[in-house]
Structure 1
Amino acid sequence: MMKKPVVPPPPPAPGDDALRAQILGVEHWSLLATRGAIWQEIFSRTGTFLAILSATVVALSLVVQATGFGQNFRIIALLVLPLVLLLGAATYLRLLEADIEDAWLVVGMNRLRNAYVEMVPGLDQYLVTGYYDDEASVLQTYNFRRRVGATHLFAGSPVIVGIVNAVLGGVLAVIIGQALGLATWLQITAGVVVAVLTAVALIAIFVRRLRKFRRDLVPRFPRPRAETVDPVAAD
């Protein structure tokens, strides 16, 4: 029985590259717009939480001026501070999710840039952002390097909100200790312990979300192993 001859695929039409570039460009602008909306939400949520926290501190200071650090102050603080801490925890969780969503958008844009480089050979020498979708290339798009330093992570909105939440939890523990009539050293110890435990819990949530992102990220266009590393980009 004779085998059927293999028929090669038809050559691409002259206008295919232009149509492909147009579709990729529309998708790129869509991802950019979504990224802008996410960053606007990050700034808005962080600003709202810090504004509410500042208003709470001012209100409690007025209560102190009027009644002193007495029972009235403790009652008001125990009513208000848990609500602020709950808002802070919700803000922290949403900021983490927003950062993960932003990372996936960066992965998508890196894949689109990979298509641009494929369509126009030599275009990669003009790009400072990554055009592969592996982890190192995603980090390159974030800060134009293939790794993120501690200062970059420390300055992020989730870290700032997390630190505020930890301190707020410690202050709340001290006030609860005062209401229970504990000794001063016990109040301070309880405040420090609660603040540290809160910080550890928030860090654990961050690490778990980061590990899940790494597990879910399956590069479709990874960086070739034979490609040399730019020493300036790796600093």
Structure 2
Amino acid sequence: MSEEPGDATPEPPAAQPAVSPGIRAQFLATEHWSLLASRSTTQSEVLTRISMFLTFTSASLLSVALVGQATQFSEAFRAFALTILSIDVVVGLLTQIRVMSVGMEDLMYVVAMNRLRAAYVDLDPGMARYLMAGYSDDEEGAKRTYYFFGGRRDFSQVAGSSMVFMVTANSALIALLVGSAMVAAGLPVPLGVAVAVAAALTFFGISMARGGRRYFAVWKNYKAIFPTEV
């Protein structure tokens, strides 16, 4: 009796040949170099963006000073100064957004390379004692990669970051803009200064809180494959 096509039992897929450790190490090294190149590119880009922002801000504030002297700080100068400061704030906020994004991308590259190091250790467990960078793809492993010797507190890592630098610079620009607008509107100078300081502190606090939430959300939603051994 002939077998109907629908009754045929599908054959199991053929087993894939195991990749030799040498070939696997080459694959891992290729991916490692790709991640290193991507990380270097993003770091170079964000440093260029910060340099452009500082150059633009310095030139614009210098132009405000020159125009103020030329116009004897007239009403036209106030409008010009507020316009320039507004543009500076917009450029600063755009730069800050990119800096925060690059910070998360850099963390992503660090964790990915830690995972590759864990694969190296799987291939040769004796290699672990030669690695100063972390080889666990969790938060502790990332911290070790950022600072090999350990013991550095999170505060110093955050305080010295490009993100905090940009938040501080933008807070100062916002204070200048708000204070100038208050004084131009006829408010007393002490009140204008108080409002400007409050605006700067509010912006600083909100920006740091948002950055912290993004960082902790990464580890809350992420599952490590090679966690740090306790």
TM-score (norm 2): 0.88
Q: What displacement does 1:152 show? A: 2.5
Residue 83 (1) aligns with residue 87 (2): yes
SS in structure 1 at match of 2:219: helix
| Closer/same/farther in 2, CA of residues 32 and 103 from structure 1, 3 Å limit | same
How many aligned residue pairs are there? 214
Structure 1: runs of 5+ lacking an equivalent: 1-9, 226-235
CA distance in 1, matches of 2:228, 2:143: 13
SS in structure 2 at match of 1:59: helix
Match of 1:109 among 113, 118, 122: 113
Q: What displacement does 1:148 show? A: 4.2
Match of 1:163 among 158, 162, 168: 168
Indicate the residue corresponding to 2:133 in structure 1: 129
Match of 1:96 among 96, 100, 103: 100
Alignment of 1:13-162 (within 5 A): 16-144=20-148, 145=150, 148-162=153-167
Residue 185 (1) aligns with residue 195 (2): no
Indicate the residue corresponding to 1:231 in structure 2: none
RMSD (CA atoms): 1.6
Kept in 2: contact 1:140–1:147 (CA 8 A):
no
Indicate the residue corresponding to 2:5 in structure 1: none
Structure 2: runs of 5+ lacking an equivalent: 1-14
| Closer/same/farther in 2, CA of residues 146 and 16 from structure 1, 3 Å limit | farther
Q: What displacement does 1:162 show? A: 0.7
Kept in 2: contact 1:139–1:146 (CA 8 A):
no
Worse-matched range after superposition: 147-156 or 36-45: 147-156
Indicate the residue corresponding to 1:221 in structure 2: 226
CA distance in 1, matches of 2:151, 2:45: 27
Give the residue type in structure 2 aligned to 1:168.
L
Kept in 2: contact 1:136–1:147 (CA 8 A):
no
SS in structure 2 at match of 1:128: coil
CA distance in 1, matches of 2:137, 2:84: 45
